[in-house]
Every structure is written in structure tokens, then in C-alpha cells.
Chain A
């Protein structure tokens, strides 16, 4: 799936490790840093030692996914425009869990979201320990409660019917296997 955010290049998308707007902002700052570093290199006198800034794993994956060469100013500019466009236009889902999700969990979740919902969707991860299990998803206008409490509330009639069955059932003899006093 390709996206035409900038004019000249078609981007493959965001890597799965880029989850939320925070990662996006980090990439933007990093691309600016790289841009500045390379500009400094051009301004330096020939023969002087130059050090390229180290890129993060996120940036490496992004560059690899979109087959970019950060040494090229045009690629850097395109990537910057792409990231800014994504930051402005990409839909953001707020998903809260009962515990901090692991990176592998987030990658699998992002894979599904990017494949099934939106290819540039971003996720803001929240923490709500009272959820217990499941998650709570909040979009721009809607609220989806996939928590355990909501599921139990949805099946309250079933729960109450089972409870009533046990309450109204005749009690089993308490000391069925107990020895009788002679």
C-alpha cells in the first residue's frame, strides 16, 4: 500500500514500531538533526573529520521500509514532508490497557490496525488498571469499551440466571460423607 504524501515520491508507509504521535515527533526531530548535521558537513572545509549522527532504530526501519537514502537532501525533504503530513492527517486511536503493553504486543496490534483500519493510523497507549482485562478504544467521536467489566455487564442476565439457579437449587447435604455418630 503506497501513499502519496509528498509530490515526487510514493511512501510505503510507517513501520510497525512507529506507534503514536510521540514516535512521529521523535522521527521529525531526528530528521531535522540529520539534516542539520549533513548541512554542517557541506559547510566544513575539506579534509576535516566529519561524523554522521547515529540514527535510531525507528528511523532505520522507516528508511528501510521506504527505501530512502538520507544522504540525499531530496529524500530527507520528502521524508520530512511525509512525516509532517502524517502528523497532521493520520487518525489517532487512544487505546487503554490494564498494564503496559510489550513492544511485540504493540507491533501485532499496529499490524492489524494498519492493515484493517487505516494504513497510517497512530495509537496513543493509555493505562487504566481498573479495566482488568481487554481494552478501551477511543476515537475522535466514539468510545468502545472492550473491557472485562463491560463484557460481564453485557452478559449480566446470563450471570444472574446462573446465580439464581444455584441460589434456588436445593442445597446438597452438608455432611454427606461425614461419619454418623453412633
Chain B
């Protein structure tokens, strides 16, 4: 509203100025006198007019008009200046207020956006943490399972090869000290235990 008021005041001041200029120009011009039937009267009137409104008088009128016009122009300019100052100050206040309001709104929006982004980031981080925990738990279970399986496999392999290990150890440790003659009793006992099978195989396979 203040801008529109300013425009209206400026337009009024401009129109007033243009009117004064037009009036001064038309006053300065002398309209040609019409020649009528009685040239003598007219000439006398013209002469009187010329006598009254002589060049000096006209000059004085012009000066007065010019001074008056300048005075009016100065007053109007002063009013215009006051109005401009007032308008400028109001405009400044308005601009300050508007800018403050807009900035506040924008800052509020920005803050809200930041809060939303923060909330989204927190939710994302929480989801990521949950997924990491789940993965870690699964991985831990899997690793534990594999460790147990590996351990069982090692134990099983160790148990399967235990006899070979002990046999190899016995051979390496006391293999050269085992006398074959000392083993004869055991060998004969084994043969005695399997005598029947040996005799059957000999009888059938011979």
C-alpha cells in the first residue's frame, strides 16, 4: 500500500508541475489582436494596453510568476522530499519486517528440514546398527558352528588315526628293541585263535 501511495503522490506532484509550466508558457504568449472595423479604437486600445502592459511591466510579471513558480516548486519539492523520506523510512521498516518475517520462515523451514534430516539420519543409523548387530550375531553363530564342526572333525580325525599314531610312535621309540622271538608266543596264540579259519581255507582252497 505504501508504494502505491508513493506513486499516487508522485503522479500528483508531476501533474501540478506540468500545469504550472503550461500556464506560464501560455501567459507569456500574447494573442494577436483581431482587426475589427474600427481600427482607430483598436489601435488606441492597443496603445493603451501597450502603455499599461509595457515591456517592463511584462518583465516584472514574468519575474513574479517565475518567483512564484519557483516557490511552489520548492515547496512541492520539500513536501516531496518529506514524503520521500517518510516513504523511505516506512519502506525500510516494511522491508525490514518482511525480510525478518521471510528470514524467520525460511530459518524455521531450514530448521525443520534439518530436524527431518537428522531424524532420518538417526533412523537410518539405528536401522544400520540393528542390521549390523543381526549380521554380527549371525556371523558369530556361523563362526561358532564352523569352529565346533572343525573341532569335531579334528577330534574325529585324531581318534581315527590314533592307532596309527601310537603304532608309529611305538615303532619309532622301541621298534628296534622288539625281539621277534619274544613275540612268538603271541603269534602262536593268534594262529591258534584263527586256526580253524586257516585250516578251512587251506582245505577248501588247496
A residues with a Cβ closer than 8 A to B are 89, 91, 93, 97-99, 101-102, 104-105, 108-109, 112-113, 116-118, 121, 130, 132-135, 137, 139-142, 144, 146, 148-149, 152-153, 156, 159-160, 163
Contact = CB atoms under 8 A, between A and B. Distances in A.
Interface in B187-206: 187-188, 190-192, 194-195, 197-199, 201-202, 204-206
A160 to B, nearest CB: 6
Nearest to A97: B180
Contacts of A118: 199, 202
A139 B170 contact: no
B18 interface: no
Interface in B151-206: 159, 162-164, 166-167, 170-171, 175, 178, 180-181, 183-184, 186-188, 190-192, 194-195, 197-199, 201-202, 204-206
B202 A140 contact: yes
A137 B199 CA distance: 13
A148 B167 contact: yes
A121 B11 CA distance: 148
Contact of A139 (B175, B180, B192, B201): B201
A92 to B, nearest CB: 9
B198 A149 contact: no
The B interface is mostly helix, strand or loop, or mixed, namely: helix
Contacts of B167: 132, 148-149, 152
Given A140-B202, A144-B194, 10 more contacts: A117-B202, A134-B190, A135-B183, A140-B205, A141-B204, A142-B197, A142-B198, A144-B190, A146-B190, A156-B163
13 contacts: A91-B202, A91-B206, A112-B191, A113-B191, A130-B171, A132-B175, A133-B170, A140-B201, A144-B198, A146-B190, A152-B167, A153-B163, A156-B163
Contacts of A141: 201, 204-205
Interface centre among B164, B184, B197 (most CB of A within 10 A): B184
Contacts of B199: 117-118
Contact of B180 (A102, A116, A117, A163): A102
Contacts of B191: 112-113, 116-117, 137, 146
A134 B178 CA distance: 10
B4 to A, nearest CB: 101
A89 B202 CA distance: 11
Contacts of A148: 167, 170
B178 A139 contact: no
B170 A159 contact: no
A156 B159 contact: yes
Nearest to B178: A133
A134 B183 contact: yes
Interface string B98-124: 000000000000000000000000000
A49 B165 CA distance: 67
B163 A159 contact: yes
A9 to B, nearest CB: 23
B161 to A, nearest CB: 10
A137 B164 CA distance: 20
A117 to B, nearest CB: 6
A89 B195 CA distance: 20
Given A98-B175, A141-B201, A146-B190, A159 B184 contact: no
A121 B2 CA distance: 139
Contacts of A159: 162-163, 166
Nearest to B171: A132
Given A102-B180, A141-B201, A163 B187 contact: no
A83 B120 CA distance: 104
Contacts of B181: 102, 104-105
